[in-house]
Amino acid sequence: MSSPNPNAEPDYLDVGTGVESRRIAMRLLAAEGSASLPSLVWLGGYRSDMAGTKAVELERHAEKTGAACIRFDYSGHGASGGAFTDGTISRWLEESLAVVDHVNPDRMVLVGSSMGGWIALRLIAELRARGEGARIAGVVLIAPAPDFTSELIEPNLTDAERASLAKRGYFEEPTPYGPDPNIYTARLIEDGRQNRVLTGIIETGCPVHILQGMQDPDVPYGHALKLMEHLPSDDVVMTLIRDGDHRLSRPEDIERILAAVDGMLVG
């Protein structure tokens, strides 16, 4: 079995109708032979895409183990269509569900990075509401940022940012991860309040492994500890990486992430 050619055209899935229609780009790696391992599903972070280091390494690891792997870009990200400023948690969750329903793996291990951790938890809640919770074999959360709009952004808004939200419907914030600033819209923040998960007990019904850098400037490790408190009924393991940053993309970080994924595959 060989990995998909990174230069080949991705598969596409149309989500939504009318003016809400957008084309979602996917890269799908089939399981090897009759392998019965859960499929690995990558859920990226805010402004990240499926060509990032962690996503690509996850697929390479899937190829080695014989597991299927699903990578895709949310609308407004990477190779997918749609405007980034139209994005909300609900919109990106809808796309995540559409991809999972389209590929339709029997069992999955969700691997969510940063905002993708929030999407993973909401995705599990939606599947459980449909009576499909047993399809989730495990969850690996990397620097998870559930409720980041209400927990990490809103409390720290400056007067200038609040004024920009009220007047322009968004504000910009410099980021060390690229030349262009992050854009946070009023729509994203308002929708985030409707998708909060840190409001009570979170039940995934599967093992959860959280990996969190203690030098993360974007999502403080206390946020991961708070998330863990909301998972009292699940088998949860947390790995705190003393010198780890938000990206956790160093070789030693990737090794830890893939070891956590292996724990879900054999579990």
pLDDT at 179: 80
Query: What confidence tier does 153 reach under pLDDT thresholds 50, 70, 90?
Result: very high
- Domain residues of the chain, as ranges? 11-145+203-266
- Give the Cα separation of 6 and 24 in Å (integer): 17
DSSP 151: I
Ramachandran angles phi, psi of 7, nearest 5°? -95, -5
pLDDT at 3: 47
- Give the Cα separation of 164 and 161 in Å (integer): 5
pLDDT, tens only, 30-41? 998 666 899 999
pLDDT, tens only, 95-128? 999 999 999 999 999 999 999 999 999 999 999 9
pLDDT at 180: 86
- Give the Cα separation of 209 and 143 in Å (integer): 11
Comparing 4 with 149, the larger pLDDT belongs to 149
Query: What confidence tier does 266 reach under pLDDT thresholds 50, 70, 90?
Result: confident
Is residue 43 within 8 Å of 113, Cβ to Cβ? yes
Query: What confidence tier does 2 reach under pLDDT thresholds 50, 70, 90?
Result: very low
What are the tokens at 162?
A: 């609040």
Comparing 36 with 21, the larger pLDDT belongs to 21
- Give the Cα separation of 236 and 221 in Å (integer): 16
For the chain, give the mean pLDDT. 95
SS3 breakdown of the chain: % helix, strand, coil, rounded to 5?
40, 20, 40
Is residue 248 within 8 Å of 143, Cβ to Cβ? yes
- pTM score of the predicted model: 0.95
Q: Which residues pair with 29 in a beta bridge?
A: 69
Domain 11-145+203-266 has CATH 3.40.50.720: no
Instruction: Count CB-CB contacts under 10 A for residue 104.
Output: 9
Cα dihedral sign for 200, 184, 92, 107?
negative
